[in-house]
Structure 1
Amino acid sequence: METSNYLKRLKDLTSQTEPKFGQMTAQHMVEHLALTLKLSYGKVKIPEFEVQEKHLQQKFLLLRTEMEFPRGVRIPGTSGELTDLRYPDFETATGELIKSFEVYLEYFKNNPHSKTWHPRFGPLDFEEWEIFHAKHIQHHFSQFGI
């Protein structure tokens, strides 16, 4: 994942940027990406579970083929409604996303064989998280035209 590229593109996003699809605001999207990064380095923990066969198939397609991240995927464990914002403003949320990128990279630098839990696909290693994040971030950046 080319973090510096994402951070450059993030500068084109403002709190007023309208989505091209979906219901998230720019701040919701930034907070969602920060939370996903936190999941990947274990700051936010979810209980381990048995991964359903259909999710194993989705995991393979997303992580091992050229498949793009699909539109309309619900955040696991939610009803599809927007969650409450965690941060007081867009700038604070963006700072948290940038910090999450840094901590994510540092975590896997120090724990290269670690596997952390994805809420749909189960345990992922660094290589798998890298592919997931690249496709997931690209999906949401295209949502906002950046």
Structure 2
Amino acid sequence: MKAQQMVEHLITNVQYTNGRLTFTCGLPPEEANRSKQLMVYTNAQMPRGIVLEDLPASYAYPCLQAAIEQLMQELDTFDHHFETPGITEDHLGFGSMNYHEWLIWHSKHFTHHFNQFGLLKGE
């Protein structure tokens, strides 16, 4: 994964949490909740080397800086999206998640990728 691929991957993932893209969790609610409890409500981190999807064949944005700017806009939309009380968005493997749960998961997901690129001190 190259830097721009990582940023574009994060853009798409944030779009699923800010109302721009939607999907429904395909797991039974009990299984999704168990996964959410394990991955969101513990110190568990995403494992190194995990690959859950193929990378696109081409970039969606003309350059890394444009992709970073779009990611920042999507994160702003994410914050505004959850201003509506009681709103939730589905995670593919964890089911319905509220703003607080998404903040935790985004933090773990971003940390996972930032560590791949050595962007965090002490990691």
The normalised TM-score by structure 2 is 0.84
CA distance 1:51–1:74, shift in 2 (3 Å): farther
CA distance 1:72–1:56, shift in 2 (3 Å): farther
Aligned to 1:87: 61
Q: Which digits, 9 at most, give the CA deviation of each residue in 1:74-93, with x for residues without a partner?
A: 33xx3xx3213211211111
In the alignment, the residues of structure 2 paired with residue 71 and residue 55 of structure 1 have an alpha-carbon distance, to the nearest angstrom, of 22
CA distance 1:82–1:104, shift in 2 (3 Å): same
In the alignment, the residues of structure 2 paired with residue 37 and residue 59 of structure 1 have an alpha-carbon distance, to the nearest angstrom, of 17
Structure 2: runs of 5+ lacking an equivalent = none
In the alignment, the residues of structure 2 paired with residue 51 and residue 127 of structure 1 have an alpha-carbon distance, to the nearest angstrom, of 22
In the alignment, the residues of structure 1 paired with residue 6 and residue 65 of structure 2 have an alpha-carbon distance, to the nearest angstrom, of 13
Q: Which moved more, 1:88-97 or 1:55-64?
A: 55-64
In the alignment, the residues of structure 1 paired with residue 49 and residue 92 of structure 2 have an alpha-carbon distance, to the nearest angstrom, of 16
The normalised TM-score by structure 1 is 0.72
Equivalent pairs counted in the alignment come to: 118
Whether the aligned pair in 2 keeps the contact of 1:51 and 1:120 (CA below 8 Å) is: no
Percent identity of the aligned residues? 32
Q: What is the DSSP-based 3-state SS (H/G/I as helix, E as strand, rest coil) of the residue aligned with 2:16?
A: helix
Structure 1: runs of 5+ lacking an equivalent = 1-23
CA RMSD of aligned residues (A): 1.8
**Moved beyond 6 Å, runs of 4+:** none
Instruction: State the Cα distance separating 1:101 from its structure 2 match.
Output: 1.1
Q: Does 1:65 align with 2:38?
A: no
Q: Does 1:107 align with 2:74?
A: no
Whether the aligned pair in 1 keeps the contact of 2:14 and 2:74 (CA below 8 Å) is: yes
Whether the aligned pair in 2 keeps the contact of 1:51 and 1:121 (CA below 8 Å) is: no
